[in-house]
C-alpha cells in the first residue's frame, strides 16, 4: 500500500521562486491536510480539505495556496518563497469514519535561501 | 478558538517505568476528539491513541492509555513499562466537531528513555 505520497522529499529554493509540493493518497480518504513543522516545534496547519472541491485555511495559510480537484490529490503551492517558509512539510489524510486519525506522508524538507 | 497546550518540553524516564505526558486543551465545542501522535527521530508521524469527548471510558491501546479528565480539560498520555524505542517526540492534538475536522497540534514533548 502506497498510503500518502509526497514529492519532492527535498528541495532548495531561492527567495522569490515558486513551487508546488505534490501529495496524493490512494486510500479514498475524504479529509486531507497540509502541515508545516519548524525545527524543534509542533505542527502548524496550513490548509485542509474535507473533500474534492472544498478547501479551507488553517493556522498559517499566508504565502500558500491549495486545490483539491480530485479525492486523491492535494497539492500545496508556494508563491514567492521566503526564508520563513523553510520547514518540513507534511501532507496527511484521514477517513470520514475516523476523522483526526491521520495517515502522514514522509515529509518534504524545503529550504529557502 | 481551540487550543492545545503541552507544558513539558522534555522528559526522562527509566526503562520499564511508567511515564505521563501532559496535555491540556481548550474548546467551546461539546463534541471534540483528542489524539496522541509519536514522532521518532526518523521523522515520520505515527498515530497512537484517540479519545472522544463523549467516551465514558479512558482509551487504551496496548501500553498506551489516555487519562481523560473532562472537567480539567486534560488528556494526558500514560506509557506503561517504557522501552528504549519509546524515545521520541510526542504530540497531543485536538479535533473539534462539525464538518471541518480541523486538527490542531500541541508543541510536543521530547521523551528520552534511559536504560
3-state secondary structure of A29: coil
CB contact set of B24 (below 8 Å; sequence gap of 6+): B4, B5, B7, B72, B73, B74, B75
Give the chain A residue nearest B90 (alpha carbons).
A42
Q: Is B115 on the interface with A (CB under 8 A)?
A: no
Q: What is the pLDDT confidence band of residue B100, given thresholds at 50, 70 and 90?
A: low
Residue A30 CA to residue B9 CA, distance in Å, equals: 33
Selected for mutation to probe chain A from B66, B100, B105, B107 (highest A CB count within 10 Å) is B105
Residue B108 CA to residue B10 CA, distance in Å, equals: 9
pLDDT of A22 higher than 70: yes
pLDDT above 70 as % of chain B? 96
Query: In A, residues 19-58, which contact B (CB 8 Å cutoff)?
Result: 31, 33, 35, 41-45, 48, 50, 56, 58
Q: How close B87 comes to chain A (CA, Å)? A: 15
pLDDT score at B96? 77
pLDDT digit string (tens) for B30-85? 889 999 999 999 989 999 999 999 998 999 999 999 999 999 999 999 999 999 99
The answer to whether B76 and B21 are in contact (CB under 8 A) is: yes
pLDDT digit string (tens) for A83-110? 999 999 999 999 888 777 899 999 999 9
Of B6, B91, B103, nearest to A100 by CB-CB distance is: B103
pLDDT of A2 higher than 80: no
Put simply, the answer to whether A42 touches B107 (Cβ < 8 Å) is yes
* Residue A61, all three cell numbers: 495559510
Amino acid at each position: 500500500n502506497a498510503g500518502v505520497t509526497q514529492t519532492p522529499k527535498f528541495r532548495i529554493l531561492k527567495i522569490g521562486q515558486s513551487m508546488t509540493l505534490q501529495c496524493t493518497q490512494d486510500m479514498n480518504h475524504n479529509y486531507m491536510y497540509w502541515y508545516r513543522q519548524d525545527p524543534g516545534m509542533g505542527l502548524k496547519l496550513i490548509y485542509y480539505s474535507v473533500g474534492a472541491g472544498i478547501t479551507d485555511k488553517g493556522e498559517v495559510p499566508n504565502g500558500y495556496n491549495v486545490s483539491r480537484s480530485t479525492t486523491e490529490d492535494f497539492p500545496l503551492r508556494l508563491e514567492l518563497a521566503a526564508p520563513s517558509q523553510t520547514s518540513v512539510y507534511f501532507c496527511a489524510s484521514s477517513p470520514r469514519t475516523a476523522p483526526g486519525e491521520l495517515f502522514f506522508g514522509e515529509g518534504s524538507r524545503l529550504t529557502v535561501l | 478558538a481551540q487550543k492545545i497546550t503541552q507544558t513539558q518540553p522534555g522528559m526522562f524516564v527509566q526503562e520499564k517505568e511508567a511515564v505521563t505526558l501532559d496535555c491540556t486543551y481548550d474548546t467551546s465545542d461539546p463534541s471534540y476528539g483528542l489524539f496522541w501522535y509519536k514522532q521518532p527521530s526518523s521523522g515520520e508521524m505515527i498515530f497512537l491513541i484517540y479519545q472522544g469527548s463523549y467516551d465514558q471510558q479512558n482509551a487504551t491501546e496496548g501500553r498506551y492509555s489516555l487519562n481523560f479528565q473532562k472537567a480539567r480539560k486534560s488528556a494526558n498520555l500514560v506509557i506503561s513499562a517504557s522501552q528504549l524505542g519509546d524515545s521520541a517526540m510526542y504530540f497531543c492534538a485536538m479535533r473539534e466537531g462539525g464538518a471541518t475536522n480541523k486538527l490542531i497540534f500541541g508543541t510536543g514533548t521530547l521523551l528520552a528513555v534511559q536504560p
